[in-house]
Structure 1
Amino acid sequence: MEYIDRKKKLGEVVSIMMDYVENKKTHQTEKTMTVPTRSYTDPAQFEAEMERIFTKVPLMLAFTAELPNNGDYKAMEAVGMPILINRDKKGQVRAFLNVCSHRGAPVAEEGHGNCPVFVCKYHAWSFGQDGRLMGVAEQSTFGKVDKAERGLKQLPCEERGGMIFVCLDPEGAIDLDEYFQGYLGDFEDLDFADWHYVGSRTIHGANWKIAFDGYLEGYHFSSLHPETIHPRTPSNCMHYEGFGPSMRIGFPQHEIKNLLKDVPKEEWGTRENYGYDFVRILFPNVSIFVAPEITQVAQLFPGPTPDKNRTVLNYLRRDPPRDEEDAQALEQFCDFFRNVTYEEDYVIGMEIQKGLESGAHEALIFGKNERGNQYFHEWLNWYVAGDDTAPKPEM
């Protein structure tokens, strides 16, 4: 029933987007919104975002497809913190700080692997898949150690819809149903957990919000992407839906009417990529574009200073490569998407960073047609304010 209801809802959105294209309209809100320039440059603002958002909310840090087998692990850095995610011998996923309890060295090298035990390369202390301290090298000379008190520091973690979410606060908690308001059903419908992980590319850019703002609107397609995106997708033609602080952005294609003219209206919601596309935004830092050839999932990690971000572009596909030729084609798709994202979006983002730091203007302005940007900044401001009684913004 939930699947049918979601597809019906998507079909209603498709009908709205078709009207947008036919009548040259877009989703609009009631007024414009200004954001202080210092929001992108101020160290105090940056620290507040790290403390009140990135260490508190569920962050999508890995995919089920990255850890398909028992014993698989992924070691990574997220906003300056060393993270270890693993799947134990019973298939359960856990997350830890990748920090040995002896002298603080990592217990796993950054990247992917498979092992039954994590061994610190510094002094060879060993830890189980559940984070328990299993062995102290040459303990007879080291002295007494309470192994129960010296395990890896565990982080709240949950696997849903083919994605693995982690809270970077060891004392925090995760409630994905409350946080995503049913949005993860999209990924369950896509059978995202069964997809193939192709690989990733890393790019660097300006303040994380400058970069993220670019994922939230298509107002710039004709001017910034005249040869890559605009031939498929009209500029300034978007539809927004909110799910808690996250959102789904609909982008109709120029040919939406022709591509769907022979498709029964009740099936429009099943035709993603054929007449329309969606960009799925997971607050605070993930953008997902599902395409027929390959899917790009951008994870934006702020820092290490306010003027910089590190973006990991992950690539997945429904099926694994059929042969070597297909595998090479997938790698070429990864490079193409990476190049477009960096050369057409991130380069101008770094120019914007310089412009904001110049002090030319005290505030930026988001138009009535840029509702996604407004929605994102409303939620961000709500979290940073830390006021539990503040009204949560609606779409």
Structure 2
Amino acid sequence: MLDQVTDQRPENDFVRMEYERERKGPPEGFPRLPDIPGSRYTDEEFLALEKEMMWDKAWLYAGHVDQLPEKGSWFLWRNSGVPIIVVRTLQGEIKAYYNTCQHRGAPLVTEDKGTDRGFVCGYHGWSYTLDGKLTAVRDKRDFVDLDFSCRSLVQVRCELLGSLIFVNKDIDAQPLIEHIGPMAAQLEQFDLENLRLVDSREYEVDCNVKILLDAFLEVYHLKSIHVSTVDRFLDHRAMIVTLWPQGHSRMATPNRRPDWVDPGTVGMPEIETITEFPAKNNVSYQIYPNFVMPPAPTGIPILQFWPLGHKRTRVVSSWLAPHHDPENPHPLWPTRLSNWERILYEDLQYAPQIQESLESPGFKGMPLNYQERRLYHWHEELDRRIGLNRVPEHARVEQVLKDWVQTD
């Protein structure tokens, strides 16, 4: 039997895959996973707690530095539920602010992106630097003891993971690199700092956000949903999972043939620093709660899943690549993006029907299996972030996977 902690280490990944392929049941000592209550997908009280304690306090991917090509450039980001300006200051720093004038709450910008030397509210003309400082107000003589130093724009935590911009509305949040813990060392090989943005597009789906998140945390569905695409070359029975603290995780699925290479990527530039395991297998990282990244040597797709309400989700799909020239992209990119979108649609198409079905009296809960343990890990973390005592009893998840979480 593989030890549940030591044999989750990267140097044993190939050994673990062989074990997974040959096992006759779950590993000895793996706990029975209690049902995930169905009310976690439909109960308004629970979903309100989820938003307050998880979504509003999480590190969330906002964009790529290529979206801020020069000093003074900015873009407006709305996926967190409130409008946030992400800007490259005149000093070259990347910062984020709520798009809210400190006079009477009007928006500072109304376009999706732009380039400026400062922000001027279109309602009453209050002016701010790109560092968020209030510099001028119209008819200053009419204000009594107006302290400019107390009227700066409200800043949002903003940190970089290579060239990826993350924001967090919780000013007391743990620094991003510390937060992702052991994953940070593994991500270094992908040279994220030097990857360029190739493409980004959005899709909206009529379902709860967790329905789609669930689908990207397991490969148990491949033989049903992806019969004519990825199931043809992926060996889902040999998939391995690494669970990390804070709800983060990694999944790796080998190809059916060890020498298989995606013919649509042959000849494309590769990430020189990528190691053998992710180069030869299909690895997928998840930064909690909604960032999914399955890197490949020639490019990295990034998926995020955003709640637009209890029954509607926005999916953002972006691609990063090494040595990408936006003015002269590699000729294989149009076909590659089209193939990716086809696979993505296979996952999205079924979600509205799942939403309709789980709202019926026939859905009580989810009996997850060993292959689906990333889902259970995700839900355990959600309860921890809400607070175990605050989760309504009917929606609570029992904490059973702590001995299967790798801490280094």
Report the TM-score when normalising by structure 2. Answer: 0.82
Gaps in structure 1 of 5+ consecutive residues: 1-7, 260-268
Show the counterpart of 2:356: 354
Contact 2:236 2:254 in 1 (8 A): no
- Which secondary structure state, in structure 2, belongs to the residue aligned with residue 50 of structure 1? helix
- Which stretch has the larger CA shift, 228-237 or 244-253? 228-237
1:311/1:322 CA distance change after superposition, 3 Å: closer
Contact 1:300 1:309 in 2 (8 A): yes
Q: Tell whether 2:246 aligns with 1:277.
A: no
State how 1:136-285 maps to structure 2 within 5 Å: 136-137=137-138, 139=140, 145-169=146-170, 171-205=171-205, 206-244=207-245, 245-256=247-258, 270-272=275-277, 274-285=279-290
- Which secondary structure state, in structure 2, belongs to the residue aligned with residue 46 of structure 1? helix
Q: Deviations over 1:129-183 (max 9, x none)?
A: 11111222454577874322222111222223332222213x4333334421131
Show the counterpart of 1:316: 320
State how 1:75-154 maps to structure 2 within 5 Å: 75-109=76-110, 111-137=112-138, 139=140, 145-154=146-155
- Which secondary structure state, in structure 2, belongs to the residue aligned with residue 230 of structure 1? helix
1:329/1:120 CA distance change after superposition, 3 Å: farther
Q: Distance in 2 between matches of 1:160 and 1:270?
A: 19
Show the counterpart of 1:15: 15
Contact 1:95 1:155 in 2 (8 A): yes
Contact 1:63 1:193 in 2 (8 A): no
Show the counterpart of 1:45: 46
Show the counterpart of 2:395: none
1:14/1:89 CA distance change after superposition, 3 Å: farther
1:249 aligned partner, one-letter code: M
Contact 1:33 1:367 in 2 (8 A): no
- Which stretch has the larger CA shift, 120-129 or 243-252? 120-129
- Which stretch has the larger CA shift, 85-94 or 250-259? 250-259
- Which secondary structure state, in structure 2, belongs to the residue aligned with residue 321 of structure 1? coil
Q: Distance in 2 between matches of 1:386 and 1:167?
A: 22
Contact 1:41 1:306 in 2 (8 A): yes
- Which secondary structure state, in structure 2, belongs to the residue aligned with residue 370 of structure 1? helix
Q: Distance in 2 between matches of 1:26 and 1:164?
A: 41
1:306 aligned partner, one-letter code: H
1:122 aligned partner, one-letter code: Y
- Which secondary structure state, in structure 2, belongs to the residue aligned with residue 352 of structure 1? helix
Show the counterpart of 1:3: none
Give 1:240 shift: 1.1
Give 1:19 shift: 4.5
Contact 2:19 2:238 in 1 (8 A): no
Contact 1:248 1:280 in 2 (8 A): yes
Show the counterpart of 2:306: 301
Give 1:188 shift: 2.6
Contact 1:65 1:193 in 2 (8 A): no
Give 1:280 shift: 0.5
- Which stretch has the larger CA shift, 243-252 or 137-146? 137-146
Show the counterpart of 2:60: 59
- Which secondary structure state, in structure 1, belongs to the residue aligned with residue 349 of structure 2? helix
- Which stretch has the larger CA shift, 142-151 or 30-39? 142-151
Q: Distance in 2 between matches of 1:274 and 1:18?
A: 18
Gaps in structure 2 of 5+ consecutive residues: 1-7, 262-273, 391-397
Tell me the number of residue pairs that the alignment of Structure 1 and Structure 2 aligns: 374
Q: Distance in 2 between matches of 1:229 and 1:322?
A: 28
Contact 1:20 1:26 in 2 (8 A): no
- Which secondary structure state, in structure 1, belongs to the residue aligned with residue 253 of structure 2? strand
- Which stretch has the larger CA shift, 11-20 or 353-362? 11-20
Q: Distance in 1 between matches of 2:69 and 2:23?
A: 45
Q: Distance in 1 between matches of 2:387 and 2:381?
A: 10
Q: Distance in 1 between matches of 2:298 and 2:278?
A: 10
2:175 aligned partner, one-letter code: D
Q: Distance in 2 between matches of 1:194 and 1:25?
A: 43
Q: Deviations over 1:74-130 (max 9, x none)?
A: 211133111112222223222211112223232234534333212233333322111
Q: Tell whether 2:292 aligns with 1:287.
A: yes
Q: Distance in 2 between matches of 1:209 and 1:331?
A: 30
1:248 aligned partner, one-letter code: R
Contact 2:102 2:153 in 1 (8 A): yes
Q: Distance in 1 between matches of 2:259 and 2:10?
A: 16
